[in-house]
């Protein structure tokens, strides 16, 4: 892990887009971007029909806030309706995914804490 960081403020457009987990994801706060030591935090855009692939966190819990749009969060295969301005939590070890079932984009903000011992151990695809 690169411990050299000089930023406290990160500009949205300066963070690369990650497509591998579904949608357009930017991990804005993490050890590499701002030297975060307790959590990661990011932003996701899901187009209609897109989803964040099922995954789990072995070390922490994840909260997701729906900025806009609508869809479904599946937590341990149980569907939960998501509307604009709601939040859900996936606790440590719970399988979860999000599907945009609305006609437009779905915008999400997420945070996961505490940090795993390494980035590779923080997120496990199922």
Question: What integer pLDDT is reported at residue 29 of this predicted model?
Answer: 94
Is 69 a domain residue? yes
Per-residue pLDDT of the chain (126 residues; tens, 9 = 90+): 444 555 789 999 999 999 999 999 999 999 989 989 999 999 999 999 999 999 999 999 999 999 999 999 999 999 999 999 999 999 999 999 999 998 999 999 999 999 998 878 888 889
Is 48 a domain residue? yes
Number of domains composing the chain: 1
Is 3 a domain residue? no
Residue 58 belongs to domain spanning: 40-117
Is 15 a domain residue? no
In the β-sheet with 87-90, what is the strand arrangement from edge to edge? 24-29, 40-46, 106-113, 61-68, 87-90
Is 65 a domain residue? yes
CATH number at residue 95: 2.60.120.10
Question: What integer pLDDT is reported at residue 5 of this predicted model?
Answer: 53
Is 72 a domain residue? yes
């Amino acid at each position: 892990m690169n411990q050299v960081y000089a930023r406290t403020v990160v500009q949205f457009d300066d963070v690369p887009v990650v497509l591998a987990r579904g949608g357009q994801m930017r991990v804005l706060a993490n050890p590499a971007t701002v030297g975060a030591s307790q959590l990661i935090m990011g932003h996701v855009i899901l187009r209609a029909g897109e989803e964040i692939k099922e995954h789990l966190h072995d070390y922490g819990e994840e909260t997701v806030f729906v900025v806009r749009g609508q869809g479904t969060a599946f937590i341990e295969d149980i569907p939960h309706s998501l509307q604009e301005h709601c939040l859900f939590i996936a606790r440590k070890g719970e399988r979860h995914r999000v599907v945009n079932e609305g006609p437009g984009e779905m915008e999400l903000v997420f945070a996961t804490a505490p940090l795993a011992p390494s980035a590779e151990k923080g997120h496990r695809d199922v």
